[in-house]
Amino acid sequence: METMPSRSRPPLAQVLARGLRLRCPRCGEGPLFAGWNRLHERCSVCGLELERRVGDTWFFMYMTTAGLTGSLVVLMFLIRPRVVWVGQLVVSLAAVAVIGLSLPYRKAVAVALDYLIEGDSIEGDGGAG
């Protein structure tokens, strides 16, 4: 009797690299997002449910945003511009750029970490495995 091979999860570094490429943490092929930051419900290639419960990635997103904000506040105290409002403007623009532009990447890493923690709770419909 032939048995189905067990699907083992890829190593941490590979899963995180897939997340940083904005790809499915399980197969590495399907895109995570439909648009800039709207997460697909499932991977279009392997069928992995990307966020099984609403809010699965919330804590990671909150903590990384807080960390980035804290870093910018520390930077604000370390840099002493000649004109205070120019420094405030630069820090504000940097905050919007860093936090805003990193949002899809941080969410993708959160999805990858969630996959590593939760694993495959359901099998995909579409096939890479």
Residue-wise pLDDT tens digits, 42-53: 999 999 988 887
Angstrom distance (rounded) from CA 7 to CA 3: 12
pLDDT for res 4: 37
Tell me what the mean pLDDT of segment 73-85 comes to: 83
Indicate the angle between helix axes 103-118 and 12-20, nearest 10 degrees.
Answer: 150
Give the tens place of pLDDT for each residue, 15-28.
999 999 999 999 99
Supply the mean pLDDT for the chain: 83
> So where are the chain's domains?
12-118
Query: Does residue 100 register a pLDDT over 70?
Result: yes
Global pTM reads 0.76
Instruction: Write out the two tokens for 116.
Output: 């590593």
pLDDT tens string 103-118: 999 999 999 999 988 8
Most distant pair of Cα atoms in the chain: their distance: 78
